[in-house]
Amino acid sequence: MTGFVLPENLVDSVRSDRSPQRDAWLAGLPRLVDEVAGRWSLTVGPPFQPGGRSAWVAPARDRDGRDLVLKLAWRHDEARDEAAGLRAWDGGGVVRLYADATIAGTSVLLLERCRPGIALGETLPEVEQDRVVAGLLKQLWQAPADPGTFRPLQVMADSWAAEFQQRLADTPGRVDPGLARAAFERWRTLPATADRQVLLATDLHAGNILAADREPWLVIDPKPYLGDPTYDPVQHLLNCEQRLTADPVGLTCRMAGLLDLDPDRLRQWLFARCVQESLDEPGLLEVAAELAAR
């Protein structure tokens, strides 16, 4: 790949999760970028650094001079319906999708470019980020949600439960059995007991919200599912590490209030995710225990 630039985070991701398939995909990126640039008449620049962990993303211009972003992503399950979600949201709170294709196991997206493109997490304090996240989520939840297009959130919850169970079996004793059982129960029941179903971003946090000129803030990299809106702020809460550790219940109540959600239901979703993530971040077990005690 002489002369072809790779984002640092993408290289690190492939090195840490090596497989013949991912190695071959990475090696084929130069040819694929050339193919897409020719197909869509694009001039493509070097990728953004350090970039994401599953995609090659770079600035581009088409023959009309439009300021765009070209994204070539390793197809992974959670992000399977990104293009469909962007079409459904149609620029309402998210970057616009101009074209998409699937080529040899790669999701190819031609997107609106955000200017200045600075991430929310680098711009505002967390307490101010809460309001931006809440405003964007309310906007995203207004989009039409076609159950024939998008998978239910239960699919994701079942996948978490299966993976968590396997990891516990491989390394027993890492999580209190009572907390584990309670988390399994939440994954089983919470998606099925929601009082409404909306189109979810599922991975919305301050790193996936960029300053823009068309709207003050636009969402990138959604991972759409159909389901309980109370789930959608959870990733933002998990990313607010200091506040989450200091006062998980208070943080949950604050976010629920901004979103007009049931705080107890949000607390249960956050509890289940903290138990799940504790296999990699053991400190979250204390957070989970505090959430469970309420």
Q: Which residues are catalytic?
A: 203
| Tokens linked to 177 | 């059995």
d(CA 224, CA 198): 10
Q: Residue 204 — left, alpha, or beta (φ > 0 → left; ψ -120 to 50 → alpha)?
A: beta
Cα–Cα dist 206/121, whole Å: 5
41: Cβ–Cβ under 8 A, 6 or more apart, which residues? 62, 63
Tokens describing residue 190: 């919470």
Name which of 265, 76, 276 is nearest 162 in CA terms.
Answer: 276
- Evaluated on CA atoms 169, 171, 175, 177, the torsion sign reads positive
202 vs 84, 157, 185, 227, 285, CA distance in Å? Answer: 14, 12, 20, 10, 22
